[in-house]
Amino acid sequence: MFPSPVRTVRWEASALTVLGLLGALLAGAPAAAPSPRAAQVPAVTAVPATPGSTTPLSGYAIRSTAGVSDAAALVSAPGYRTAGWHPAGPRSTVLAALVADGTHPDPFHSTDQRRIPAADFTVPWWFRSEFTVADTSARTYLDFSGVVSAADVFVNGTQVATAAAVAGAYTHHELDVTELVRAGANAVAFRIQPNDPRKNLTMGWLDWLQPPPDENMGIVRDVLVRRGGPVALRDAHVLTGLALPSLASADLTVKAKLRNESAAPVTAEVSGTIGSGIAFRREVPLGAHETKTVAFTPADTPQLHLERPRVWWPAGMGAQELYELDLAVTVSGAGAGGGAGAGGVSGAVSDRARHGFGIRSVQAPLNKDGARQYSVNGRPLLIRGAGWSPDELLRWDATYAEDRLAYARDLGLNTLRLEGHLEQDEFFDLADRYGILTLPGWQCCTKWEGEVNGTEAGEGWTAADHPVAKASMAAEAARLRDHPSVISFLIGSDFAPNAEIERGYVEALKAADWPTPVIPAAAAKSAPLTGASGMRMPGPYDWVPPGYWYDKREGGATGFNSETSAGPDIPTLDTLRRMMSPAELTSLWKDPAAPQYHRSPSRTYATLKLYDDALSARYGAPRSLEDYVAKAQLAQYENVRAQYEAYARNATDASKPSTGLIYWMFNSGWTSLHWQLVDRYLDQNGAYFGAKKANEPLHVQYAYDDRTVAVVNRRAAAVSGLTARVSLFNTDGTRKYDRTVTGLTVGGNGAKTIALTLPASVEGLSATHLARLVLTDASGREVSRNVYWLSTRRDVLDYTESDWYHTPTTAYADLTGLRSMAQATVSATATTSVDADAPSTSTTVVTVRNTGTGNTPALLTDLHLVDGKDTPVLPVRWSDNQISLWPGESATLTATYRTADLHGSAPAIRVSGWNTPTATVPAG
């Protein structure tokens, strides 16, 4: 579930090292120009003859065309010598390979990325691989997508596709190379064209991070060598119809295309199974070179009507049940291969397809206020999400991806939005398994919206772009449609497509039997066929105070806000010291007006001035790097918590309810200072734990606007017999207000109950004060605790001066009183055990106690699991963290992590906090 920090940054480097050691070169073969680098070529991929098999190329040798003078026919010939070329993994950008083999420095540290010459990537690069086949009786295809930005393709010295045909990162290509493939070694070469996301329908980075100098040119998905017989089986998928609201039955329709590759008529038999209990078959006559769609429906195949189906639910709403489809096509009286001279074996398997699917229903009508309201399996839900980012170099690490999805679930999120950068198949498999809903869609501010976004970035479309866009939509629809985690496709982001572009998308989606709502834009736009988006994109993207989120205007808690946050999310000190130089760290806390390379290439976000000005005004000017980071954690905790709490509170309002929140963003693709709930190294800061607190299943919360205390219940069942106690304290711990409300009942599925309203003023309450909210169940057990640091002076917003990225604050809350809090004495004891059922996983149990004799609470006490070198053990899943304890109070927390991430050392717990001295205690 969790990777080591070393693996997190090395990615596929270990595989590339192995590839680089395999340097078998054929004497006398044409040679490329020499270089000082030792001969390094990828392993040759052995491809079986089994019809229906798909074998990914294991890797490539790559080199700039500027260093290769040989003709394409030579470069793509088997045995061509690649001395001096760079090894690359099976899914790799050019820069990812060059960083892995040490040619260029780590672009994630300091400004080292600037040292990489962008001019190297303004010419095409060769990606070359070899594969072997033992016989040529089976048909052979190259099957791929993920070329950035376009490629000429060659097999065994012959060009099989041009860059005009293989264009766009998402278009899918199947090239029949049967006549070119020979027994033994075969070569495939891609001449990859440079990428410019403003000119090509690919992918870019906008203002998310400093873009890589190669603009991700390369091949970022597997290139498959597919083998098949005389009849090809393609486009297999399952349409599901779930009975609502009973969920008592479901109707399945299984569809696929059969393609007769031979010049003679054949009779094909399609047979399939779903799980272990459903089987079906049918004979299908096919004329020479005929393609035919076959469909099995409950009307002709009664076993496809399911009683009591196993239904797939999002996380927190039920189980993630999945089914498996297995289809095969056999041909009577024909050989398995179907190539020239193929022998005849009656009933041999010609092709097959296997993949999973889920049974669930997604609806997303517009409510009376015009907002998109999602429901799954007939149950409405508030979308609590965030924006997903891949690695900046598009390196794929399945463990790292799973760790982040586990974090999303740990945070109580139910949705991740993918604006462009539509991830690998394995990502969606993981999302299905973790119950994380996904909102994929095209990217703004690039070529994708160049035709409709006026003067913004992205060139207008030519006639050649329309078929690329439609083919991209068709390919992604076919790839994603059976994943139950995918609940929509957004065919626009900041802008909706025009009528012509929308028609291409909609036609492609319809042809693919797309099963979920199609959204014209993430912004408040509309399109002729898909109508109004029901979403809005008012921001903010930079700092606003916590109280902002409760107003039903701008980015506040109403409707469906598709991307919004208070901008910067400063990482922990551990992460900052890994990603920035000492000089950069000094500038970080001393100079708010200084450009921050690790924030954004956008001039709007070049500095942290808005954020830093608010931090100084509310908490006091920073006195050191440590003080700056400590204040940042307080600010991020309160702000992120407020965002999710405000949307949760307003979700059940009769007027203008909130229906969705996508925090911008969940993570960054590199080492960043903004837009992230979790940082590059999977460390967790105030933003993370603020979100985790706000999204508790049963939660007590305070509202900044009307001072109400509410209980929100995200569980399905109602809860009764609850008791809420609310206390207000001065910063010295003196209690100034205390009230207990008993007998509270709250409904399920996101319902709320108002427990009480705090008075507008309390005698003797200091300008900076603390609010402690404690919720207990009928047995007296604490089920939710929430602590706020508040001010008698409110933040004041000037909405008349709002722009697209923030609303100015004209007066700030006074939280400077926190600086005068006395030091709190906190003790901790910890023990660690290894899970007997999963010995690779360890659990550390920590009991932390405020042992002070006075009244002073320990505010935002943070626990970090560390190894023997005081390095954080990451990733780690805490039951709770960054807690606040009053004298005599204690809490027992658990941390779960991979045992191997300790690297053989004994675990320890580092305890720190706002007013708690840092100390480390053993946890072995």
Tell me the catalytic residues.
494, 563
Q: How far, in Å, CA of 566 to CA of 545, rounded?
A: 8
Distance CA 615, CA 620 (A): 7
Distance of CA 895 to the CA centre of its chain: 23
550 DSSP assignment: G
What beta strand segments (E) does 278-436 contain? 278-286, 291-296, 305-307, 323-331, 348-357, 362-363, 375-376, 379-380, 383-387, 415-419
Whole-Å CA distances, 365 to 144, 239, 530: 36, 20, 12
- How many helices (H) and strands (E) would you count in the chain? 13, 51
How far CA 398 is from CA of 392, 409, 416, 434, 435, in Å, comes to 15, 17, 17, 14, 17
Phi and psi dihedrals of 691, rounded to 5?
Answer: -65, -40
Residue corresponding to tokens 């309390």: 762
CA angle 95, 98, 104 (to 5 degrees): 95
CA distances from 148 to 343, 693, 779, 870 (A): 40, 40, 59, 41
Token reading at 906:
């004994």
Contact between 512 and 234 under an 8 Å Cβ cutoff? The reply is no
CA distance 389 to 670: 9
Identify the H or E element spanning 186. Answer: strand 184-192
Rounded distance, CA 908 to CA 922, Å?
Answer: 4
H or E segment and range at residue 41? none
249 by Cβ neighbours in 10 Å (0-12 / 13-18 / 19+) ranks as middle
636 touches 546 (CB < 8 A):
no
- Cite the beta strand spans of 25-123 per DSSP E: 45-47, 54-56, 60-64, 86-88, 92-93
Alpha helices in 491-624 (DSSP H): 499-511, 573-579, 582-590, 609-619
Closest CA to 144 of 165, 177, 175, 187: 175
For residue 560, which phi and psi values (nearest 5 degrees)?
A: -115, 105
Compute the residue count for the chain.
924
Exposure class string for 319-345: b at 16+ Cβ within 10 A, else e: ebebbebebbbbbeebbbbbbeebeeb
Pair of tokens at residue 252: 């399945």
686-694 vs 625-650: helix crossing angle, rounded to 10? 20
